């Protein structure tokens, strides 16, 4: 039913599986002895973070923040708002932020700045998707799943007006849906 709104599949389920596996191996090498807090940025992080943390065979803690920048549209805005804050201290802890996508970099600029102000020992990012052409704030995430072109994508956590997050793959919406 949702498939009829999708122009093309950009990252299919097998590719997602392989990418999550590779990221978990990379992160395990660097964090197995660091007892990090994996911080998911809601809501988009949900499917990726769920798949990702299940492949980490070492101690972690999990936390969530909700930081909004899109406000339901297809373009990122300057406005970054903390809707829900972390409920644990980060002082002297290694933080690994789990993201579905990095676009302009504004969300991460705000969150990384905040966590560092609170005394985090390190703050790095693991993201399923990276859209480097969208960058307004220069930033390169430490762990990148797949780089994609500057197209508006939905699925595997990514939404258009809160819909399509539950698609099991990443796809490009038909322009008729949002024009
Ligand atoms: C999306 C996405 C990232 C952010 C990336 O979140 O999940 O957190 O935008 O964009 P940026 O690099 O331009 O800041 P959004 O604010 O749409 O909230 P959501 O996760 O609830 O969809």
- Give me 8's structure tokens: 């093309």
* Ligand 1 binding pocket includes 131 (Cβ within 6 Å): no
pLDDT, tens digit, for every residue of 69-102?
Answer: 655 455 555 567 889 999 999 999 999 999 999 9
| Nearest in space to 60 (alpha carbons), one of 102, 101, 114, 97 | 97
The per-residue pLDDT for 178 is 84
The per-residue pLDDT for 78 is 53
Compute the distance from residue 171 Cα to the ligand 1 centre, in Å.
16
Which residue's CA is minimally distant from atom 2 of ligand 1?
101
Yes or no: say if 66 and 41 are a contact pair by the CB < 8 Å rule. yes
Q: Residue 14's pLDDT band (boundaries 50, 70, 90)?
A: very high
Task: Tell the residue number behind the tokens 């859209």, with chain if given.
Answer: 131
The per-residue pLDDT for 74 is 55
Instruction: Give all strands (DSSP E) within the chain, no chain letters.
Output: 6-11, 37-42, 61-68, 81-84, 94-102, 122-130, 143-147, 153-154, 170-173
Compute the distance from residue 132 Cα to the ligand 1 centre, in Å.
14
Task: Reply yes or no on whether the pLDDT at 5 is more than 60.
Answer: yes
Q: Which residues contact 172 (CB under 8 A, 6 or more apart)?
A: 6, 7, 8, 10, 151, 152, 153, 154
Q: For the chain, what is the radius of gyration of the CA atoms?
A: 16
The per-residue pLDDT for 81 is 84
The per-residue pLDDT for 73 is 55
* Ligand 1 binding pocket includes 44 (Cβ within 6 Å): yes
Q: What average pLDDT does the chain have?
A: 94
Q: Which residues contact 120 (CB under 8 A, 6 or more apart)?
A: 90, 91, 92, 93, 94, 95
Pocket test for ligand 1, best of 40, 41, 152, 156 (most atoms within 8 A of CB): 41
- Give me 115's structure tokens: 């966590």
Q: What is the pTM of this model?
A: 0.94
């Amino acid at each position: 039913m949702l498939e009829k709104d999708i122009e093309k599949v950009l990252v299919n389920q097998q590719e997602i599986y392989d990418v999550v596996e590779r990221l978990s191996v990379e992160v395990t090498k660097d964090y197995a002895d660091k007892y990090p807090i994996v911080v998911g940025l809601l809501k988009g992080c949900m499917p990726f973070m769920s798949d990702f943390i299940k492949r980490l065979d070492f101690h972690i803690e999990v936390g969530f923040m909700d930081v909004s920048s899109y406000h339901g549209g297809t373009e990122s805005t300057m406005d970054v708002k903390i809707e829900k804050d972390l409920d644990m201290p980060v002082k002297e802890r290694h933080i690994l932020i789990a993201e579905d996508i990095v676009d302009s970099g504004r969300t991460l600029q705000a969150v990384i700045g905040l966590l560092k102000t609170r005394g985090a020992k390190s703050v790095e990012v693991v993201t399923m998707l990276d859209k480097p052409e969208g960058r307004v704030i220069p930033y390169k995430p430490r762990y990148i799943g797949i780089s994609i072109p500057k197209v508006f994508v939905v699925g595997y956590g990514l939404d258009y007006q809160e819909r399509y997050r539950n698609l099991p793959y990443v796809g490009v919406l038909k322009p008729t849906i949002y024009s």
